[in-house]
Amino acid sequence: MAMETGLIFHPYMRPGRTARQTFEWGVQNSVACDKAGFTSMMISEHASQIWENIPNPELIMAAAALQTSQIRFAPMAHILPHQHPTKLAVMIGWLSQILEGRYFLGIGAGAYPQASYMHGIKDAEPQMLNEMVRESLTIMEKIWKREPFFYEGKFWDAGFPEEAPAETEDDEQHMLANFAPYNGALPEIAVTGFSANSPSMKLAGERNFKPVSIFSGLDALKRHWEIYSEANIKAGFTPDRQRHAVSQTVFCADTDAEAKRLVMEGPIGYCFNKYLIPIWHRFGMMDGFAKDAGIDPADADLEFLVDNVFVVGSPDTVVDKLNTLFEGCGGWGTLQVESHDYYDDPAPWWNSLELISKEVAPRVKLPGA
């Protein structure tokens, strides 16, 4: 079994990109990844960030449904505290039918307090957000079952009506629409984990959902797996590292020097200097990377990240770096490549995706292999 490759599309478009450009870049990436053999594409949902400018990941998936044939899509993540669970459950069911099952569902509590604020949550306490995630899931699962209920929750009320009997033999006006996910099966659910003592990883383990982490240093990643597997075993399941997806900045070119130049001087370097390095300092992510390399987090700059944290280089170098990373943390099943804004000059990006999927992934040693 080979390591799977996925794309995660946040999409880190530089300020000034129009909605049309972002949307077009999303659909182009889905088609390119489908052709290159990527198994999944995850698309973020953000209402507040100019650099993460997709409020409705489902629109890109719907546009890509008719232009792709193999790749699976997931919102990563729908932010459950920000919407009514029935509205979301019905949309998800319909989209999974449109995609004829090439769909799984990423859920999250929300990363940015500004986005929570916009949805009426003034003090976004993690504990409350996580409770909202759990209640939303309970309601969505009931809606997908299509059995009559009425639920009065702490955050939302919702129900499913009884279908009225037919008045005459050929009467169809009483029939209820079926927006359950494709084939009536629950979609696979994936949960995003970020913090060291991740409540999301605990939820994923308890419910046997797919764990998805952002790479934020070896300790955090090892901790995610521990939290997930402990909860998973306690709930009677057998944890499978193959299901763990980890997102990482990966860029491949024909030579190491070319790859480093394209990252330092291109869209990835620009995005990190302007947006992600300050954010990583703010969210404490830099601490883990600095600890792994034995430096002061304040000294972590773009070149440090390119050389020590990102996976950048020729295919041989990228394989070596991934194998070393896997030895250090136990490995994972899907490498979720972080996408960037190569809209103006996409050729190096398409080349990188092809190399990662065709020349790197088959040579990475998987956990237990």
Nearer to ligand FMN, 68 or 247 (CB): 247
| Interface characters, 211-230, with ligand FMN (x: CB under 6 A) | -xxx----------------
Q: How many CB atoms lie within 10 A of CB 332?
A: 27
Residue given tokens 């090892």 in the structure block: 222
Nearer to ligand FMN, 279 or 302 (CB): 279
198 belongs to the binding site for ligand FMN (CB under 6 A):
yes
| Interface characters, 320-349, with ligand FMN (x: CB under 6 A) | ------------------------------
Which 281-300 residues touch ligand FMN, going by CB under 6 A?
A: none
The angle formed by the CA atoms of residues 85, 212 and 37, to the nearest 5 degrees, is: 105
Cβ 55 to ligand FMN, closest distance in Å? 10
Cβ 256 to ligand FMN, closest distance in Å? 27
Complete DSSP assignment for 252-306: E-SSHHHHHHHHHSSHHHHHIIIIIHHHHHHTTHHHHHHHHHTS-GGG--HHHHH
Give the list of residues 6+ apart from residue 278 with CB closer than 8 angstroms, or none: none
- The stretch near ligand FMN (CB under 6 A) out of 105-113, 138-146, 268-276, 306-314 is 105-113
Paired tokens of 327: 């030895």
Q: Where are the alpha helices (DSSP H) in the chain?
A: 19-36, 57-65, 85-98, 113-118, 126-145, 199-207, 218-234, 256-264, 267-271, 277-282, 285-293, 302-308, 315-329, 347-355
Compute the distance between CA of residue 151 and CA of residue 137 in angstroms, rounded to an integer.
12
Per the CB < 8 A criterion, the answer to whether 99 and 182 are in contact is yes
Sign of CA dihedral 110, 111, 115, 120: positive
| Interface characters, 112-151, with ligand FMN (x: CB under 6 A) | x--x------------------------------------
Cβ 195 to ligand FMN, closest distance in Å? 3
Nearer to ligand FMN, 194 or 342 (CB): 194
CA 48 to chain centre: 17
109 belongs to the binding site for ligand FMN (CB under 6 A):
yes
Nearest to 342 by CA among 36, 74, 62, 32: 32
Nearer to ligand FMN, 114 or 178 (CB): 114
Which helix (H) or strand (E) segment holds residue 40: the answer is: strand 40-43
193 belongs to the binding site for ligand FMN (CB under 6 A):
yes
Nearer to ligand FMN, 77 or 325 (CB): 77
| Interface characters, 48-87, with ligand FMN (x: CB under 6 A) | ----------------------------xx-x--------
Per the CB < 8 A criterion, the answer to whether 139 and 153 are in contact is yes
108 belongs to the binding site for ligand FMN (CB under 6 A):
yes
| Interface characters, 241-280, with ligand FMN (x: CB under 6 A) | ------x---------------------------------
29 belongs to the binding site for ligand FMN (CB under 6 A):
no
Which helix (H) or strand (E) segment holds residue 43: the answer is: strand 40-43
Q: Which residues bind ligand FMN (CB under 6 A)?
A: 44-46, 76-77, 79, 108-112, 115, 192-195, 198-200, 212-214, 247
